[in-house]
Amino acid sequence: AQSVTQLDSQVPVFEEAPVELRCNYSSSVSVYLFWYVQYPNQGLQLLLKYLSGSTLVKGINGFEAEFNKSQTSFHLRKPSVHISDTAEYFCAVSGSGRRALTFGSGTRLQVQP
């Protein structure tokens, strides 16, 4: 069975500082990895995805993530955050023909001025 662990439930950071949101997954088969963002009272918006190929994936709003197969990680990074990045971020995995996303518990990013 697949599972996703987001190691930090909350990450406070000052505006313009860099940030890394950590995500580890477990799966015995090939996986596809996603990061979604959820703003208050809204649905989920796809930030980026890893399907295959280059392990460094660039997404929207200046975010990027690196797939590390040996460490089974898919950490999300942004070199300089803005107040508007305050939201909840979810890492998700699919694969093995299940055709469903398995989500982590989420990380609340709080950007302070």
Catalog residues that contact other proteins under the rule CB under 8 A: 32, 34, 36, 41-46, 49, 51, 90, 92, 94-106
Name the residue nearer to other proteins (CB basis): 99 or 113.
99
Q: At closest approach, how far in Å is the CB of 101 from other proteins?
A: 6
Q: How far apart are the first and last CA of the chain?
A: 41
Task: Give the list of residues 6+ apart from residue 59 with CB closer than 8 angstroms, or none.
Answer: 35, 46, 47, 48, 49, 65
Q: At closest approach, how far in Å is the CB of 85 from other proteins?
A: 19
